[in-house]
Structure 1
Amino acid sequence: AEGARRCTGADWAVAVTGIAGPGGGSAEKPVGLVYFAVSGPSVSFSFMRQYGASRGREWIRGLSVGDALDQLRLAL
């Protein structure tokens, strides 16, 4: 997120990465593990969520977008 701010000149940025499945997971990085970062003028933080794989790729992706935007909203 900090790199995105530098590259674009934006005041705020959000970054998301993870394993949405259905494949690609491992014991260390299971399907449903998602990492987030939010960066702004006076704050930068990251967090992770483990959603689980039972509901599928699109559910994980949709929930991740909602979580990222909610954290951005709270930081604003």
Structure 2
Amino acid sequence: MDPPSLDTLMRVAAFERVRGLNEIHDHLTTSELKPGFLFRGERIALVNPQRGLFKPQQMRFLLSIKTVFPKPGAKVWYDD
């Protein structure tokens, strides 16, 4: 089995940060997520306030930790 890629290690660190934030906040908003997290001494963003799907420049693939709850009667753009 190959060792985890750098992207995978960053992704694990991102979700560990989100899990830790979730332990101290009832629900997470952009304010809590905006500072990001440190990975090997470098700040990595968790969110981009202007975009839903987001790819930190240090990562190879998208990092999506936010979701949108549709308003009643509004169009649902995706069902995942």
TM-score normalised according to structure 2 size: 0.29
Q: Structure 1 or 2: larger strand share?
A: 1
Q: Structure 1 or 2: larger helix share?
A: 1
> Which structure is higher in RCO with an 8 Å CA cutoff and minimum separation 6?
1
TM-score normalised according to structure 1 size: 0.30
